[in-house]
Amino acid sequence: MKPIPFTKMNGSGNDFIIIDNRAGIAPANLPDFIRGVCRRKLSVGADGLILIETDADHDFKWQFFNADGSRAEMCGNGARCAARFARVHGIAGDRMRFGTDAGTIEAEVIGEGAKIRMTDPFDLTCDETLALAGGAQTYSRVNTGVPHVVIETDDLETAPVAAQGREIRYHALFAPAGTNVNFMAVRETGAIGVRTYERGVEDETLACGTGCVAAALVTAVRHGWDSPIAVTTRSGGILTIHFEREGQGFKSVYLEGDARFVYAAELGADALAL
């Protein structure tokens, strides 16, 4: 394998390997490659991998992959990182449009962060009941580019993110694709805390952009809050969710937060070795 240049970035602790693949440098066996380089301690390690590619209808398009090699339609934190990567490398200007499996994403790079317009959310329902091993669980759900369940809790620190998150992620109701699972607690009016079990990572991550959007929109409905809503992630980073209400739904949903460069390097064959 020829060395592959890459950049490591993170958004509020959600970390990604980004490869400029406009010249087609990514290997053919993508799932194996992604699983190999996303392993923590044994390789670079990341929650996901992003390929930046050319597109006739946008400034660029991406392919986004979870750490397990599965492809995902959308990732809010990854989208902000991709936008800043594109701006810094001259692929796009301060404002841009790029293609994802969830649709066109509009982005604006602002300093060391970015603000992205999300695709319109859909399938929002609140206060349903789900049968779990430990009993009935009240939950809400919404698709913010990828599917999310939101559970409100009084104690975010002791929330069973890994155990219950995994059970809900694989619940028959959400098969076969599964769902991401967010635990949310109200901090004060206009501010919430969120912890997320991410499908494809199969564990809690330090932040999930689409999950924070989902939690904010559910909170707006359940508590009658207006835009914006500040969301504190597991990393301690704060994401800001902007939105407009439209009847029972939402439009003009934006996710704003940091998008940090960590380092640039090259992947060699040893990065994939067991």
Q: Which amino acid is at 207?
A: A
Pairing, β 238-246 against β 229-232:
antiparallel
User: Per-residue b/e over 130-164, b at no fewer than 16 CB within 10 Å?
Assistant: beeeeeebebbbbbbbbbbbbbbbeebeebebeeb
Q: What are phi and psi of 199, to 5 degrees?
A: -60, 135
Could you tell me how many residues make up the chain? Answer: 274
Pairing, β 180-188 against β 191-198:
antiparallel
Closest residue by Cα to residue 58 from 112, 24, 8, 107 = 107
Contacts of 60 (CB under 8 A, 6+ apart): 22, 52, 53, 54, 86, 91, 92, 96, 98, 99
Closest residue by Cα to residue 196 from 114, 80, 77, 101 = 77
As given in the structure block, the two tokens for residue 69 are 């090699």
* E strand or H helix that includes residue 142: strand 135-143
**Cα gap 86→22, rounded to integer Å:** 12
Residues with a known catalytic role: 75, 208
* E strand or H helix that includes residue 30: helix 30-37
